[in-house]
Amino acid sequence: MRPRPRPPVKGRGIFTGTGVIIAGLTATLVALLIPIWSYADRSGTGLSVLNAETVATPYGPLSALDREFVTKVRLAGLWELPAGQQAQQKGTTQAVRTAGQHLVEGHTFLDARVRDVAAKLGLALPNEPNDQQKQWLATLDQAQGVDYDRQFANILRLAHGRVFSVVAEVRASTQNSLVRALADDANSTVLDHIKVLEATGYVDFGALARDMAMSSTPPITNSPAPPGPTADPGAVVPVTPSPYATTFTLPPAASSPPPVPLPS
């Protein structure tokens, strides 16, 4: 005798073992996706923070770091140009006078470059050194003789060492082709200046290391983005040009025997 088929039990369907597992997996997936969607819609998170101060230009994205770097290149020339010219007059050795010549010619070249870059990106530039740079110039104004040589070599070497790391950071991270090319020029110029300053024989490397450790380079501040959604490449930026020629042919570095240490 054949067994009679059992009628279906009401209420089974998705509530079978397999249905319960599928329903549980679906609920878990939804729970995981909802926080992701919510997080992506929130302002001030993720890439929105990184890109908050970045603007579009025809030469690629221009970040706050890029803008600060352009400003720092201009500031360096505003005080190192007169410092170099002064060293050509007050230096007591040929090596110090040659270092001054390198400063003048190198920053004359960079000043022309940075003004061109700033004009194309619609960026305003300073026309006078900052307070720290004015203080350095005042110190050099008062120094005379061998003391001047020492002050000149060590102040300028310290300043160049600090900016060298900034140039490297910008060159490694920028997405802007104009800023990248300017960083290349700045890197070559700063390295040349470091070498000729060290060739004077007056650089105190021990004191330099202590000063660098005690007063590390302050972080680059977030420069405000230019007004509007993009930088205006056609904007006219009033910047006082350098009074020097814009050719860039570096003379050879001069070498002098190390100076005799002064008695302590």
pLDDT 10s digits, 68-111: 999 999 999 999 999 999 999 999 999 999 999 999 999 999 99
- Residue among 107, 113, 114, 109 at smallest CA distance from 156: 107
Class (C level, CATH) for 55-213 = mainly alpha
Question: Which is more confident, 253 or 61?
Answer: 61
pLDDT at 52: 53
> Does position 33 have pLDDT exceeding 70, yes or no?
no
- Residue among 71, 115, 72 at smallest CA distance from 239: 115
Phi, psi angles (nearest 5°) of residue 55: -120, 155
pLDDT at 28: 53
pLDDT category of residue 179 using cuts at 50, 70 and 90: very high
Tokens of 173: 């991270």
> Does position 244 have pLDDT exceeding 90, yes or no?
no
Note whether 37 and 206 are within 8 A (CB): no
Distance, CA of 78 to CA of 82 (rounded, Å): 7
pLDDT (average), residues 204-229? 63
> Does position 238 have pLDDT exceeding 60, yes or no?
no
pLDDT at 5: 58
Determine the distance from the C-alpha atom of residue 57 to the mean position of all C-alpha atoms in its chain, rounded to a whole number. 18
